[in-house]
Structure 1
Amino acid sequence: MLIVGLGLTGCVSGPRIASVKSELPAAESFVTLPPGGPATISILEKRYKDAIVRETILATDSRVPGQNFLTATIRGPVGYRTTRDNALGPDSITPSQIAKEFQWYLLGVPMMRSQLYAQNKYGSFGFALGTARTGDRCLYAWQHIGRHQDTVLPTTGSVSIRLRLCDADASEQELLSVMYGFTIVGYLPSPLWNPYGNAPKVSQSLGALSAPYEPTLPVVEAPVRKTPVRPKPAPPVKAPVVEGPIVPPPESGRYEDFALVPPPES
């Protein structure tokens, strides 16, 4: 009995904290943000039977309640053992689902879905913009990356993106640029997991003769050279104008009116 008691005592390492999410280092994010983008504060992870969700908490200077985040959800054979009812299920980007997410993350901010077509390097995505009462601009974007959203071929996997971003000074275009600058670095180590599909085939004309290819270069504005400004010449100095009464010139004298003076004697 004493030996059994000591064995049980050695197995106890203290109470464990039950939490829905666990915090990870910033380097464990499923995405990397572009240089100059929002700073990463922390990473929160939640595991399901069929998915792993990692929420990247972003820095913010907004006065809108809530926190900025970029959430990446990887679905597929995660190899996580849990109960059957702990399944996240397929991704849903229906209008009703997005409206619910507006209420969850942007309560009180009137969000307007954009009808413009937007596409980053992973495909098309949807987004909505809104302005809070404080004047802060907010963006909410959603994207599904994967060939299947049903459970017919769940082993192919998928990636879901959600971005909530509010800022006091940024414009709508600056907020939207984050959806074009991030890179997905998370994946599942399974040969069956491939939400991106096969790489596109290389054009047969590439490298062949009589098949010129001219790349599209970025437009760089030429620097504007400033024309040197020459100093203006100083205005000529005008002679001062003397004003006063006009004195008449003397009258010419007549020598015959005067007496002749004889020269001195030598």
Structure 2
Amino acid sequence: MPPPGGPAIVGVVERIRGNGIEQNVALSTSSKIPGQNYLRIHFFGAQGSAPDVPGATFRTINENDLRREIARAAPGVPMVRAATFLQNTYGPFGYASGRGQGGDTCLFAWQQIRSPSTSSGIGRGFGMIQVRLRLCDNQATARQMLNAMYGFTIVGTFKGRMWNPYGDVAEADERLGRTGEPIYPEGAFSRRSVSLGYGMSTGAPQPLPARPKAVEQVCQPETEAAAPAGPRVPLPDPGAGVSGSSSSTEATGTTVPSPDCIGTAAMTAACRK
């Protein structure tokens, strides 16, 4: 099962083998790179699971086969193998990633799940699970798509301890109950979390609607005939100031302009009259 949140399952093809089962889980694809995204799981167990069906070749991961698988996974995309050691719930895994000419990112990951052998090589479980993941997307990065390798779940196993591919259950942490070994809340001090996330893209993000520009309202002043008369303010006779006479004449009035002619509207020709 892919991790919660995607990529989505669009179909499952299952093949019964004489020594196991192979499932090819087709995943939703949003890319121009040829091919279908998939999560492929192949169980190798005891011969006789389906007596009438031939068994699959029991082969572990080898370098030559791996190169061919990477080349077939994303045609035309230069894939580069990562040198970083990574490990999920089922053990270590590897991956290669690359970017196509159109900008799409592709990731191909592989994992072999098999119980470890003892120091003498005796007592190893014979069951094995091969996992392959192919993802190409036009929005997500390779780091985001790695979430699928950390979050997938295998819900099957083999009967019998000798065919158990997962190995024995891990023992309890040695720090439990010991002095001088503080255990902190998860995520607070114990380790640095890695930000991963992946969901199939639904297209380019839609831009937010543009905010309407404020329309500057320019008020046209009313005509002098229709303009309301403002308060009559008495002013001294301009002639008195020129002649220096101390005698005052009859005060003349002036009309205070309407508030419509204040601000930018005051520069109009009608307001300057």
TM norm. shorter chain > 0.5: yes
Q: Which residue of the partner structure matches residue 98 of structure 1?
A: 66
CA RMSD across the alignment: 3.2
8 Å Cα contact 2:16-2:53 kept in structure 1 = no
Q: Which residue of the partner structure matches residue 119 of structure 1?
A: 87
Give the direction of change, closer, same or farther, for the CA distance of 1:88–1:246 in structure 2 (3 Å limit).
farther
Distance in 2 (alpha carbons) for counterparts of 1:47 and 1:81:
10
Distance in 2 (alpha carbons) for counterparts of 1:246 and 1:192:
122
Distance in 2 (alpha carbons) for counterparts of 1:169 and 1:247:
81
8 Å Cα contact 1:139-1:175 kept in structure 2 = yes
- Give, in angstroms, the shift of residue 121 of structure 1: 1.3
> Could you state the TM-score of these two structures normalised by the residue count of structure 2?
0.62
1:163-184 CA distances to partner (integer Å, 9 max, x unpaired)? 0000111112111111111111
Which of these residues, 185, 196, 209, is aligned with residue 215 of structure 1?
185
8 Å Cα contact 2:33-2:100 kept in structure 1 = yes
Q: Percent identity among equivalent residues?
A: 34
Amino acid of the structure 2 residue aligned with 1:87? A
Greater alpha carbon shift after TM alignment, 196-205 vs 178-187: 196-205
Q: Which residue of the partner structure matches residue 178 of structure 1?
A: 148
Q: Which residue of the partner structure matches residue 73 of structure 1?
A: 42
1:17-67 CA distances to partner (integer Å, 9 max, x unpaired)? xxxxxxxxxxxxxxx222211110111112222231111100111111110
Q: Which residue of the partner structure matches residue 247 of structure 1?
A: 241
**Unaligned stretches of 5+ in structure 2?**
194-237, 247-273
**Unaligned stretches of 5+ in structure 1?**
1-31, 221-243, 252-266
Greater alpha carbon shift after TM alignment, 102-111 vs 114-123: 102-111
1:55-111 CA distances to partner (integer Å, 9 max, x unpaired)? 110011111111000011111126121466x4321222x232111112333222211
8 Å Cα contact 1:156-1:194 kept in structure 2 = yes
SS at structure 2 position matched to 1:56: strand
Computing the radius of gyration over CA atoms, which structure comes out larger, 1 or 2? 1
1:237-258 CA distances to partner (integer Å, 9 max, x unpaired)? xxxxxxx99938767xxxxxxx
8 Å Cα contact 2:126-2:162 kept in structure 1 = yes
1:42 matched to 2:36? The reply is: no
> Could you state the TM-score of these two structures normalised by the residue count of structure 1?
0.63
Give the direction of change, closer, same or farther, for the CA distance of 1:200–1:191 in structure 2 (3 Å limit).
closer
